[in-house]
Amino acid sequence: MSDEQHTESAHDHAQDHARPDTTAGKPTVDGPVKVASRHVDVFYGEKQAIKDVSLDIAPNEVTAFIGPSGCGKSTFLRALNRMNDIIDICRVTGDIRLDGDDIYDRRVDVVQLRARVGMVFQKPNPFPKSIYENVAYGPRIHGLVAHKDELDEIVHTSLDRAGLLNEVKDRLETPGTGLSGGQQQRLCIARAIAVSPEVILMDEPCSALDPIATAKIEELIDELRENYTIVIVTHSMQQAARVSQRTAFFHLGHLVEMGDTETIFTNPEHRLTQGYITGRFG
């Protein structure tokens, strides 16, 4: 980020009287850190959607972002792999590092970054191609394979890790769009895994799914954290409590509080968090 941008955001903070007494600036993880955000602001045109958010994401954990509708969870999530770059009016300032490297440095190849930090969206969005091609596409365009055998291996391993292989192994050439919603979402997870990401961002991955498909994705998320760092935006506090080890609570663009999930749900520090988790607002 340029000095000019830093000056501008510091000015904005001074103007922001609504800012609650938050954890901003303090590390939110004791041990190793995979992704570190410091003083991040996100604007859509003149409107500021994220205000001075500083937090850490620990490796091989599931971190949940919770908070009332419109508080900026998805906006902040998208800042973590520069998905906001595709929104013309969106501007991000502050510092976000992946393993210590500034992801907004102008030398960063955004396509490579999004391979390292993959994303799964709210609505399953398989390509209108075969199940095989959905998974093979990423490794192929990233040049990860030299031979068809290697590609077959990646497709099978990714589908297996996404808990889908047994259900689809006899119909890999059929369209991905012909699968059920839950299967499509697992296909999207397989597609994300196929390029060997380090971090997987999930934006309400179960909101279009029934309870059985949701339970399968939640189980899968728990298994995936062995190999990946996962950040999930969810509206469901039960889901956050079930799948995550750490939870961040957002309100009106601020990070109000972040801590281990059990503490956030049983003994939050901030009254806003308490109000949200007990259903008094949101």
Ligand X SMILES: Nc1ncnc2c1ncn2[C@@H]1O[C@H](COP(=O)(O)OP(=O)(O)OP(=O)(O)O)[C@@H](O)[C@H]1O
- Contacts with ligand X by CB under 6 A lie at 44, 49, 67, 69-75, 87, 235
Residue 32 beta carbon to ligand X: minimum distance, rounded to whole angstroms = 27
Whose Cβ is closer to ligand X: residue 24's or residue 179's? 24
- From CA 274, how far away is CA 195, in angstroms rounded? 39
Going by the DSSP 8-state scheme, the letter that residue 169 receives in this structure is: T
Residue 13 beta carbon to ligand X: minimum distance, rounded to whole angstroms = 18
- From CA 70, how far away is CA 272, in angstroms rounded? 15
**CB of 122 closer than 8 Å to CB of 183:** no
Q: Which helix (H) or strand (E) holds 43?
A: strand 35-44
Whose Cβ is closer to ligand X: residue 44's or residue 137's? 44
Residue 58 beta carbon to ligand X: minimum distance, rounded to whole angstroms = 22
Whose Cβ is closer to ligand X: residue 154's or residue 258's? 258
Going by the DSSP 8-state scheme, the letter that residue 130 receives in this structure is: B
> How is 69-116 classified by DSSP, letter by letter?
TTSSHHHHHHHTTTGGGGSTTEEEEEEEEETTEETTSTT--HHHHHHH
Residue 233 beta carbon to ligand X: minimum distance, rounded to whole angstroms = 6
Residue 190, helix vs strand vs coil:
helix
Residue 207 beta carbon to ligand X: minimum distance, rounded to whole angstroms = 9
Whose Cβ is closer to ligand X: residue 78's or residue 114's? 78
Whose Cβ is closer to ligand X: residue 91's or residue 142's? 91
